[in-house]
Structure 1
Amino acid sequence: MPWSTSELAELAGTTVNTVRHYHRSGLLEEPDRMSNGYKQYGARHLVRLLQIRRLRDLGVPLSQIESVGSGGDSPAGALLAIDSDLEASIERLQRARAEIRAILEGSTATDLPPGFEDVAKRLSTPERSLMLVYEQLYDREAMKDLRTMVETDSDDGSAEFEALTVDADDETRQRIAAMFAPAIARQVIDHPWLTEPDAHLLKGPRVTSDTFVETFRELYNEAQLDVIARASVLAREQVETARAASDPDDLIDPDDRLDSDGGESR
Structure 2
Amino acid sequence: MAWSTRQIADLAGTTVNTVRHYHEAGLLEQPERRSNGYKQYGVPHLVRLLQIRRLRELGVPLAQIESMGRADENPVEAFRVLDAELEATIERLQRARAELALIMRHRAPIDLPAGFSSVAETLSERDRSLVMIYSQVYDESAMDDIRRLVEEHPRTEADEEFDALPPDADTATRVRLAEYFAPVIKQKQADYPWLNNPATRASKDAATLEHTMVESLRELYNPAQLDVLSRANQIIYGTTDERPGADGERTDR
Q: Give the TM-score category using the shorter length.
A: 0.7 to 0.9
Give the equivalent residue in structure 1 for 2:249. none
Give the equivalent residue in structure 2 for 1:69. 69
1:226 maps to amino acid: D
Give the equivalent residue in structure 1 for 2:115. 115
Long gaps (5+) in structure 2:
242-253
Contact 1:60/1:82 (<8 A) preserved: yes
- CA deviation after TM superposition for structure 1 residue 11, in Å: 2.1
**Structure 2 CA distance, aligned partners of 1:28 and 1:235?**
71
**Structure 2 CA distance, aligned partners of 1:119 and 1:142?**
16
Q: Per-residue CA shift, 1:34-83, capped at 9, x if unaligned?
A: 45554332111111111111111222212232344313333222112212
Give the equivalent residue in structure 1 for 2:11. 11
Secondary structure in 1 matching 2:103: helix
Long gaps (5+) in structure 1:
241-266
**Structure 2 CA distance, aligned partners of 1:14 and 1:208?**
51
Contact 1:185/1:236 (<8 A) preserved: no
Give runs of aligned pairs for residues 56-135 of structure 1, distance below 5 A: 56-106=56-106, 110-135=110-135
Contact 1:177/1:227 (<8 A) preserved: yes
Contact 1:166/1:223 (<8 A) preserved: yes
Give runs of aligned pairs for residues 34-49 of structure 1, distance below 5 A: 34=34, 37-49=37-49
Contact 2:4/2:39 (<8 A) preserved: yes
**Structure 1 CA distance, aligned partners of 2:100 and 2:224?**
38
Q: Per-residue CA shift, 1:107-130, capped at 9, x if unaligned?
A: 755353333345445433321221
**Structure 2 CA distance, aligned partners of 1:213 and 1:49?**
58
**Structure 1 CA distance, aligned partners of 2:43 and 2:10?**
14
1:145 maps to amino acid: D
Secondary structure in 2 matching 1:2: coil
Give the equivalent residue in structure 2 for 1:259. none
**Structure 1 CA distance, aligned partners of 2:138 and 2:123?**
18
Q: Per-residue CA shift, 1:111-169, capped at 9, x if unaligned?
A: 53333345445433321221122122211111112123333447473122122111101
- CA deviation after TM superposition for structure 1 residue 85, in Å: 1.5
Percent of pairs with identical residues = 54
Give the equivalent residue in structure 2 for 1:167. 168
Contact 1:134/1:143 (<8 A) preserved: yes
**Structure 1 CA distance, aligned partners of 2:48 and 2:199?**
52
- CA deviation after TM superposition for structure 1 residue 173, in Å: 1.5
**Structure 1 CA distance, aligned partners of 2:200 and 2:44?**
56
Secondary structure in 2 matching 1:157: helix
**Structure 1 CA distance, aligned partners of 2:28 and 2:237?**
67
2:221 maps to amino acid: Y
Change (3 A) 1:195 1:37: farther
115-124 or 179-188, which moves further after superposition? 115-124
**Structure 1 CA distance, aligned partners of 2:51 and 2:207?**
49
Contact 2:106/2:117 (<8 A) preserved: no
Change (3 A) 1:118 1:12: closer
**Structure 1 CA distance, aligned partners of 2:24 and 2:200?**
45
Q: Per-residue CA shift, 1:206-246, capped at 9, x if unaligned?
A: 544444344434433222122223323433338x9xxxxxx
**Structure 1 CA distance, aligned partners of 2:162 and 2:92?**
39
Q: Tell me the matched-pair count.
A: 239
Contact 2:199/2:209 (<8 A) preserved: no
What is the RMSD of the two structures over their aligned residues, measured on CA atoms?
3.0
Contact 1:181/1:231 (<8 A) preserved: yes
TM-score, reference length from structure 2:
0.78
Contact 1:181/1:234 (<8 A) preserved: yes
Q: Per-residue CA shift, 1:91-111, capped at 9, x if unaligned?
A: 222222233233333375535
**Structure 1 CA distance, aligned partners of 2:117 and 2:23?**
50
TM-score, reference length from structure 1:
0.75
Change (3 A) 1:106 1:118: closer
